């Protein structure tokens, strides 16, 4: 018996594959395909299709949305906050992922598409380095962007699949050819991430992958030290200098982040419950620089370069609490899937869990949750451990026998 959505699910799945590939290539194309996916999902529901069952951590994301809307009502600029609230529609990707990724075959195909997109994006960045020459191609003033508009977006989009597929490779015993392809893709991503000079992504990837190895394959840590030493020796001077600057308090961008934290906490102190409204932090700081701008700050940034501080200053304490609870419950539920799972799904749960940890660590130094492309991919990986996958026909027959 056919499901009510069978006529729309198949074309929607191919649209989803195109959407996943284009995340690294074109945000405009993603918005077009995302709108089409939403329309097909609405058609699926209108025809009597069931709304996918979502893991419980999404209830806290729903609360986050609600508190964001309340914050908009009390925003210092409701118009700016309302326009920014279109980003809330991205959360609708979560049920779409659960609706369309309903079999192991579809899951596997989507993973190959995401890997191919990340490798393609990494190649684009590495081509920039090669065309300029290593010495001139790795410069802080003109970092790698790939097909995106900003190096933070570019490197953030590489970090998530890099950690996911690296962790999956630790646990999954695939064919040699498949393993070689994934390893080649990881090598491209690692090189592009290194040449991007994006420190928050370096820290996030190191935290996510380091914790995964420590918990899942601790013996691999014995190989990590000489490997890291070799990479440090082979890295261009610009990469080594950028890495050393992470702990240098004389570095201007490090001091600037401290000043932004000072500004964010002052904004929270004055409007603790609803914040200043989304997309208003820079505007409020400029309107009263004596109150909200640190005396030593050289510039006013459009955001606070920290996911948690930005949410707190923009949307208030209840929105931040909802976001933190969503993160906590995802970690707990994904860890439960990791402990209780086996085979492919255990590897998927592990990859998603440690990729999310990488996102949280990187998000302490950059407002990545405000980046549409990063959220497209983040919600994809967060959905994977909880998909309701149908067994293939031959597996069902074997179970019946």
pLDDT of residue 77: 96
The two three-digit tokens of residue 231, written as one number: 């990479």
* Residue-wise burial string across 273-291, b where 16 or more C-beta atoms lie within 10 A, e elsewhere: ebbbbbbbbeebbeeeeee
The two three-digit tokens of residue 312, written as one number: 């707190």
The two three-digit tokens of residue 378, written as one number: 């983040």
How does DSSP classify residue 52? P
Count CB neighbours of 394 within 10 A.
8
Count CB neighbours of 186 within 10 A.
20
DSSP codes joined into one string, 110-135:
HHHHHHHHHHHHHHHHHHHHHHH-HH
pLDDT of residue 380: 98
- Pairwise CA distance, residues 340 & 350, whole Å: 11
* Residue-wise burial string across 114-137, b where 16 or more C-beta atoms lie within 10 A, e elsewhere: bbebbbbbbbbbbebbeeeeeeeb
Place of tokens 């284009």: 22
- pLDDT tens for the chain, 401 residues long, are 344 445 557 889 999 999 999 999 999 999 999 999 999 999 999 999 999 999 999 999 999 999 999 999 999 999 999 999 999 999 999 999 999 999 999 999 999 999 999 999 999 999 888 887 665 556 766 788 888 988 899 999 999 999 999 999 998 776 788 999 999 999 999 999 999 989 999 999 999 999 999 999 887 777 776 777 776 667 777 787 788 788 777 888 889 999 999 999 999 999 999 999 999 999 999 999 889 999 888 888 888 999 999 999 999 999 999 999 999 999 999 999 999 878 889 999 999 999 999 999 999 999 999 999 999 999 999 999 999 887 654 444 444 34
pTM: 0.92
DSSP codes joined into one string, 315-338:
H-HHHHHHHHHHHHHHHHHHHHHH
Closest CA to 254 of 244, 245, 267, 266: 245
Closest CA to 44 of 96, 1, 86: 96
pLDDT of residue 391: 63
Place of tokens 């932004």: 260
Count CB neighbours of 306 within 10 A.
22
């Amino acid at each position: 018996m056919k499901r009510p959505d069978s006529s729309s699910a198949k074309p929607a799945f191919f649209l989803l594959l195109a959407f996943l590939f284009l995340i690294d290539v074109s945000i405009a194309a993603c918005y077009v395909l995302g709108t089409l996916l939403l329309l097909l999902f609405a058609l699926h529901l209108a025809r009597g299709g069931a709304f996918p069952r979502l893991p419980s951590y999404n209830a806290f994301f729903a609360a986050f949305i609600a508190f964001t809307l309340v914050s908009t009502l009390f925003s210092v600029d409701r118009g700016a906050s309302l326009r920014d609230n279109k980003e809330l529609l991205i959360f609708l990707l979560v049920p779409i992922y659960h609706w369309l990724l309903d079999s192991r075959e579809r899951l596997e195909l989507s993973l190959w598409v995401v890997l191919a997109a990340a490798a393609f994006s990494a190649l684009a960045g590495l081509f920039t380095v090669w065309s300029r020459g290593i010495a001139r191609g790795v410069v802080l003033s003109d970092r790698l962007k790939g097909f995106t508009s900003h190096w933070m977006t570019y490197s953030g989009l590489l970090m998530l699949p890099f950690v996911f597929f690296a962790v999956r490779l630790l646990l999954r015993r695939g064919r040699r050819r498949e393993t070689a392809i994934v390893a080649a893709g990881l090598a491209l991503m690692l090189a592009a991430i290194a040449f991007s000079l994006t420190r928050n992504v370096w820290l996030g990837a190191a935290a996510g992958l380091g914790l995964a190895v420590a918990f899942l394959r601790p013996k691999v840590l014995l190989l990590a030290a000489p490997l890291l030493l070799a990479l440090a020796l082979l890295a261009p001077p610009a990469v080594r200098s950028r890495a050393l600057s992470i702990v240098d308090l004389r570095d201007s961008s490090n001091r600037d982040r401290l000043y932004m934290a000072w500004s964010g906490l002052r904004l929270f102190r004055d409007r603790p419950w609803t914040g200043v409204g989304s997309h208003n932090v820079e505007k409020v700081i400029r309107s009263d620089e004596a109150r909200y701008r640190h005396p030593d700050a050289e510039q006013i940034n459009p955001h606070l370069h920290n996911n948690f501080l930005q949410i707190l200053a923009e949307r208030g304490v209840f929105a931040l609490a909802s976001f933190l609870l969503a993160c906590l419950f995802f970690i707990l539920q994904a860890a439960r899937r990791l402990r209780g799972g086996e085979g492919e799904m255990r590897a998927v749960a592990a990859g998603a869990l440690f990729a999310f940890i990488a996102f949280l660590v990187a998000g302490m130094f950059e407002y990545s949750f405000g980046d549409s492309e990063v959220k497209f991919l983040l919600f994809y990986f967060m959905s994977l451990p909880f998909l309701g996958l149908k067994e293939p026909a031959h597996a069902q027959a074997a179970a019946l026998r």
